[in-house]
Amino acid sequence: MTYMDIILILESMIRISTPLLLACLAGLYSERAGIFDISLEGKMLMSACISASFAYFTGNVWLGLGAGIIATLLLSGIHGLAAITFRGNQLISGVALNFLASGMTVMLANAWFGQGGRTPQLSGEMRFPRLTLPFADQISEIAYFGPFYARVLSNHSILTYIAFLAVPFTWWLLYRTRFGLRMRAVGENPAAVDTAGISVVKLRYAAVAICAVLCALAGAQLATAVPAAGFVKDMTANRGYIALAALIFAKWRPWHAMWAVLLFGILQAAAIRYQAIEIFGTRIPGQFMDALPYILTVIILAGFVGKAIGPRAGGVPYVKER
């Protein structure tokens, strides 16, 4: 393996990890506030479909992203209504939304474009372009650091930079602001928050709204950021569930979440670049490499991460005592 091979794998890792990271942070906000949300997959899928469709209709990717955000806010509103207002089962609500998104995206794409549940190819202003960081071209020839800066750190969509900047922002918001303190408290002891005169309902709705926006960015990254060329059926490929596994792996902490999704990302990047590899003389088939991130998900969920204790009030509807 040459240095350039490593650079190409790291470049792919960043691109692949972006939607996972956004979805993982989305789940972190929601679950820290006590709302389990397994509908990350459905929200990402809906955003991918709506963002690509409206980007194609309007010729403007930002309008497409705006439509995707509205769509995921509607889905999160349904989840919030079921889980917060009507105190329903959060898992059932999440599963229902995933089924709804899976069917509705194909139906809408078929009705609008008649191309078997996919959108036409996007080009030009319909997609988020790659951004070149300052001096990337000038220092690209410098040994080792030049290719790393020009290929791994530079040359990604704006959504990628938003995703990675969201990690320190989320840490600051959750651990250094009053809003974050209240959000964490409402996921641990909503009765105490209520006793302090703070609205549990408003805080939880704010958390699911933030979750919706981040899921919308994740879906838009999949469908409208270069090199993506539009929406296809079930294009999220269970990334929402992997994000939830990464969230457990990270034990609901933002920095750890980033490292967890980068682990999944580098495995997928290696699988894409090497369809078959040899380890100690044994040939590993490409199908195994494709399945490796998902196998790792199962191992993590089986308890490899050790004891992972979620927010104590997570998944529990809050009933105000009179």
Per DSSP, the residues of 296-317 read: HHHHIIIIIT------TTTT--
Reply yes or no on whether the pLDDT at 139 is more than 90. Answer: no
The answer to whether position 319 is within a domain reads: no
pLDDT of residue 57: 94
Count of structural domains, the chain: 1
Determine, yes or no, domain membership for 322: no
Which band of pLDDT confidence, cut at 50, 70 and 90, is reported for residue 301?
Answer: low
CB 94 within 8 A of CB 314: no
- Dist CA 211 CA 243 (whole Å): 13
**Residues of the domain holding 177:** 3-129+139-305
* pLDDT score at 276: 62
pLDDT of residue 266: 84
**The pLDDT of residue 249:** 83
Average pLDDT over residues 230-239: 89
**Residue type for 200, please?**
V
Sign of the CA dihedral with 53 first, then 54, 55, and 58 last: positive
The domain spanning residue 23 has which CATH number? 1.10.3470
Rounded to whole angstroms, what are the CA distances from 74 to 42, 168, 280?
12, 27, 52
Q: Does pLDDT of 176 surpass 90?
A: yes
User: 20-51 b/e with 16+ CB inside 10 Å = b?
Assistant: bbbbbbbbbbbbbbbbbbbbbbbbbbbbbbbb
Does 19 map to a domain? yes
* Selected residue with higher pLDDT from 188 and 268: 188
pLDDT at residue 280 greater than cutoff 80: no
Tally of CA atoms within 13 A in the half-sphere of 251 that contains its CB: 7
293 domain residue, yes or no: yes
Over residues 287-315, mean pLDDT: 71
Residue 238 lies in a domain: yes
The pLDDT of residue 295 is above 90: no
Look at residue 144 and tell me whether its pLDDT is greater than 90. no
Token digits of residue 268: 């997928």
Res. 305 pLDDT band, cuts 50 70 90: low
57 vs 151 pLDDT, higher one: 57
What is the pTM for the complete model shown? 0.92
In the chain, what percentage of residues exceed pLDDT 70?
93
Which pLDDT score, from 0 to 100, does residue 322 have?
A: 58
Mean pLDDT of the chain: 88
Residue 59, phi-psi category: left (phi > 0), alpha (psi -120 to 50), beta (remainder): left
Query: Is the model's pLDDT at 279 over the cut of 80?
Result: no
Burial class (CB in 10 A: 0-12, 13-18, 19+), 1: exposed
How would you classify residue 310: left for phi > 0, otherwise alpha for psi between -120 and 50, otherwise beta?
beta
The whole-angstrom separation of Cα 82 and Cα 217 is 24
Say if residue 285's pLDDT is above 80.
no
Mean pLDDT for 80-90 is: 90
Of 161, 260, 155, 173, the closest CA to residue 210 belongs to 173
Residue 302 reports pLDDT greater than 70: no
- The tens digit of pLDDT for each residue in 37-65 reads 899 999 999 999 999 999 999 999 999 99
Cβ(187)–Cβ(32) below 8 Å: yes
Dist CA 42 CA 94 (whole Å): 8
Instruction: Give the whole-angstrom CA distance, residue 291 versus residue 296.
Output: 9
* Residue 234 included in any domain: yes
Q: Is 306 exposed, middle or buried (0-12, 13-18, 19+ CB in 10 A)?
A: exposed
Whether residue 314 lies inside any domain: the answer is no
Average pLDDT over residues 134-159: 87
Residues in the chain: 322
Domain membership of residue 11 (yes or no) is: yes
How big is the CA angle at 201 (ends 195 and 204), to the nearest 5 degrees? 110
Place 315 in a pLDDT band, splitting at 50, 70 and 90.
confident
Closest of 99, 94, 93 to residue 40, by C-alpha: 94
User: Percent of the chain having pLDDT more than 90?
Assistant: 53
